[in-house]
Amino acid sequence: MWERVIVHADLNHCYAQIEEMMYPELRQVPMAVGGDEQSRHGIILAKNDLAYEYGIKTGESLREAYRKCPDLLIIEPHYDDYLYYTEEVKNIYREYSDKVENFGLDEAWIDLTASQGLFGGNPVEIVREIQERIYKELGLAVSMGVSFNKVFAKLGSDFNKKMGLTVISQKNYKNVVFPLPVDELFYVGKATAAKLKEKSIYTIGDIAYSRQEYLKSFLGKHGEMIWRFANGLDVSDVTLLEYENRPKSIGNGVTAPHDLSTFEEAKNVLRVLVESVASRLKERELRGSVITIGMRDHELHSFTRQRKIDVATNISSEIMQTVELLLKENCMSQYSGYLDRPYRSMSVKVSQLEEDIPQVQLSLFTDESQRQKEKKLDLVIDEIRKRFGYEKIKRCCLNIHQELTSFNPKEEHIIHPESWFKSS
């Protein structure tokens, strides 16, 4: 038996694979799941194997995809189905371990260390059994990596897609992992990979054989971390089912139906996002003291601006006050009422989160009774929307630009908020 058995499972091309499972005829044509091009959400979210053969990539625009394959079939996303079936897959994982850690909808780590004796002792056979059950019971193919830590397990699941199973052990990891390019390693993004290549560090083995202090000299603490990852020294645990990590931030973003040119247009779109973020914070019983906006202009140039506030909050009016100030300070034109350039997308994030408990020490500069009234108003609006629908109640100012504000970012979108704010 292994001393430690960590599995990473990846439901490859998740959205497209679920569509093919529900409608098998889709396997016969180049197909991709994509957004609505008319509303400016026209990107490829997932593609099937036939679309992949045309060079179609996740994240590219529908126009680019159509140029590669004019007969490409685009399927609108059905998020409820994706949520249902990915949870059914994870329910099978949970039959084999109480340590299953989600990594997005389609990926998860499973700790089978304590399960070896219960399911036959051979971890590779246990993993193969899980794969076959998922395929037989749900019609979905999962690739899996088996290793002694989370980082190498994730590398393993990327080796062979479909029903692939790759074992990276204490004995073979140098032969399997070290030849791979640096950007294959977990937490090595484009910016970090570029810095490494400037120093003639091209492979994971190059990272492993470098001095830790040298990597730290130009990458900071991040250099120490990837050195440990490259050498197989990741000892982080797979979290228990009952344990849920507190998020580092809660945010939301949207691409507008047309470029935004006035302050009022941008403010109203941001107000919708702020309400969704404030609602999520209260649901998680959290509040935050750093508020960030992310802006992307019509030429796809992006930037973020943030401000720390004195009293942590989850009240929409307080978050909006800071958001509006950031917008004025960083995006206003010298001509009153206009932005400094057309903006295509925007986002809001609240970070430095803490538990939402009653204030122990009241501020001399804050009317706490008024704050509680604002919070109760938020809660009433959230409850009305939950019971009767999002459109049943909204601020009058949002009716001015209905074509921009008639979206529900909390319920209608699968959000990956951190992607709006990453620079590497």
10 located within any domain? no
409 located within any domain? yes
Structural domain ending residue among the three candidates 59, 78, 97: 78
Q: Select the more confidently predicted residue: 126 or 103.
A: 126
Structural domain ending residue among the three candidates 37, 52, 78: 78
Query: What digits encode the pLDDT tens for the residues 44-103?
Result: 989 999 999 999 998 888 889 999 999 999 999 898 899 899 999 999 999 999 999 988
Examine the domain organization and report whether 262 and 410 are in the same domain.
yes
341 located within any domain? yes
Query: What digits encode the pLDDT tens for the residues 304-328?
Result: 999 999 889 999 999 999 999 999 9
Examine the domain organization and report whether 193 and 256 are in the same domain.
no
* Rg of the chain over all Cα atoms, to the nearest angstrom: 24
Examine the domain organization and report whether 253 and 221 are in the same domain.
no
Q: CA 166 → CA 163, 169, 187, 237, distances in Å?
A: 10, 10, 20, 20
Domains contained in the chain, number: 3
DSSP states of 290-303: EEEEEEEETT--EE
pLDDT surpassing 50 at residue 15: yes
Examine the domain organization and report whether 413 and 293 are in the same domain.
yes
258 located within any domain? yes
4 located within any domain? no
108 located within any domain? no
Q: Which residues are catalytic?
A: 107
CB 286 within 8 A of CB 309: no
Examine the domain organization and report whether 346 and 286 are in the same domain.
yes
Provide the CATH number for the domain around residue 189. Answer: 1.10.150.20
Which pLDDT value is given to residue 405?
Answer: 63
95 located within any domain? no
Examine the domain organization and report whether 270 and 193 are in the same domain.
no
Question: Count of CB atoms within 10 A of residue 301's CB?
Answer: 10
38 located within any domain? yes
Query: Which parts of 3-117 are beta strand (E)?
Result: 6-10, 31-34, 44-47, 73-75, 100-102, 107-111
Q: Select the more confidently predicted residue: 258 or 10.
A: 10
pLDDT surpassing 90 at residue 130: yes
* Percent of all residues in the chain with a pLDDT value above 90, rounded to a whole number: 59
Examine the domain organization and report whether 253 and 327 are in the same domain.
yes
Count the helix, strand and coil residues of the chain and give each as a percent rounded to the nearest 5: 45, 20, 35
Half-sphere exposure of 64 (CA within 13 A, CB side): 11
Structural domain ending residue among the three candidates 24, 48, 78: 78
Domain assignment of residue 63, given as a range: 15-78
Provide the CATH number for the domain around residue 39. Answer: 3.40.1170.60
Examine the domain organization and report whether 312 and 349 are in the same domain.
yes
Examine the domain organization and report whether 358 and 405 are in the same domain.
yes
Examine the domain organization and report whether 389 and 308 are in the same domain.
yes
Provide the CATH number for the domain around residue 256. Answer: 3.30.1490.100
Examine the domain organization and report whether 295 and 391 are in the same domain.
yes
Examine the domain organization and report whether 343 and 415 are in the same domain.
yes
Query: What digits encode the pLDDT tens for the residues 403-423?
Result: 666 666 655 443 333 333 443
